[in-house]
Structure 1
Amino acid sequence: METRLRTLSKACSWQLLGLLTTGLLAYALTGSFAEAGGFALVTAGTGLLCYILHERLWLAVRWGRN
């Protein structure tokens, strides 16, 4: 089983990558650092919570394990 700290670390590193790419794409679309940053932070926070929930739920699924 995976520890909660490992799940959180994986989620944070993934979201950091997502934050960067979302921020760059949002800036390309809006031309505003403030709007792009706000959008990126909201989506990163939502994505982090969804990722952690997704990972923890999949730990309960026995299907596909050897």
Structure 2
Amino acid sequence: MDTQKRSIVKAVIWNVIGIISMSVVGILATGSAALGGKMALINTGLGFSLYVIYERVWSRVRWGRQHG
């Protein structure tokens, strides 16, 4: 099982990647850096929260794991 700290670090790194890509998509879709940036921030906040919960739930699931 991952530690809580590891889950959070993984989520932060993933969300840095996500905020960059979502900013580019938002700017391309709206033509506005301000609106694209707001969309990216909202998406990142929501995605971060859901990812941490998702990882913590899956860390407790034994199905599909091979032990040593």
TM class by shorter chain equals over 0.9
Give the secondary-structure state (helix, strand or coil) at the position aligned to 1:8: helix
Match for residue 65 of structure 1?
65
Partners of 1:2 and 1:8 in 2: how far apart?
A: 10
Regions of 4+ moved over 4 Å = none
Match for residue 51 of structure 1?
51
Unaligned runs of 5+ in 1: none
Partners of 1:48 and 1:29 in 2: how far apart?
A: 22
Unaligned runs of 5+ in 2: none
> Aligned residues: percent identity?
38
Match for residue 24 of structure 2?
24
Partners of 2:7 and 2:37 in 1: how far apart?
A: 25
Aligned length: 66
One-letter code aligned to 2:54: H
